[in-house]
Amino acid sequence: MLVKICGIQTIEAGTTAVEAGADFIGFVFAPSSRRLSPFQAAGIAHSLPSSVKKVGVFVNEQVETILTIAETVKLDYIQLHGDEAAEIAEVLPYPIIKAFSIDEAIHEQIDQYPCDYYLIDSPARKYRGGSGKTFDWEKMLTLPIDRKKILLAGGLTAENIQEAIEVVKPAGVDVSSGVETDGVKDNTKIRQFLSLAKA
């Protein structure tokens, strides 16, 4: 089971996630309480082993800006979390994770979108990028998408991760607020989540 810990803002949190077995580390470069500068992200990324994939999360950003940040931080993946057209994904010379809310996934033909992974999330609230709330995982079962390309997000925690994996059977899972305490990454929760997801 692939695990992405998103919204990393410190070397300590990044190192804890990697040591606990994370496959992807996510840096947010869009309006969010977890947003950080390319310079900050580069400092964290430089401290992590090359075996863990660094993901940059963008929302409706200019291609030139994405490319500049990707080069600065040495990103491995680009996550498009807005209304980006397929043409945007096609011109970016990086593997792509494209995020869709469960509502979009059900009502749009997302299987035609050119990406390496589909990240299916709960509907957004204040910021694009999910609400930190779960949705009805049974809705995932009707999606015409290869399960090997699905990353499940939205309200995942140590308490529900094993049930979520059992129902959806995704390639991987993505967590941010579910491993935080008072809006800050919690090392104990990171380790616990990864242990259960990988089990």
| Residues taking part in catalysis | 6, 121
Token digits for 15?
């190192």
Q: What contacts 49, CB < 8 A, 6 or more positions away?
A: 18
CA separation for the pair 193, 199 (Å, rounded) = 10
Given the DSSP bridges, would you call strands 184-185 and 180-181 parallel, antiparallel or unpaired?
antiparallel
Alpha carbon distances (Å) from 172 to 12, 77, 179, 195: 23, 15, 16, 14
Q: Which helix (H) or strand (E) holds 7?
A: none
Main-chain phi, psi angles of 75, to 5 degrees: -70, 150
Cα four-point dihedral sign 95, 138, 101, 193: negative
Token digits for 108?
């749009």
* DSSP line for 158-178: TTTHHHHHHHH--SEEEESGG
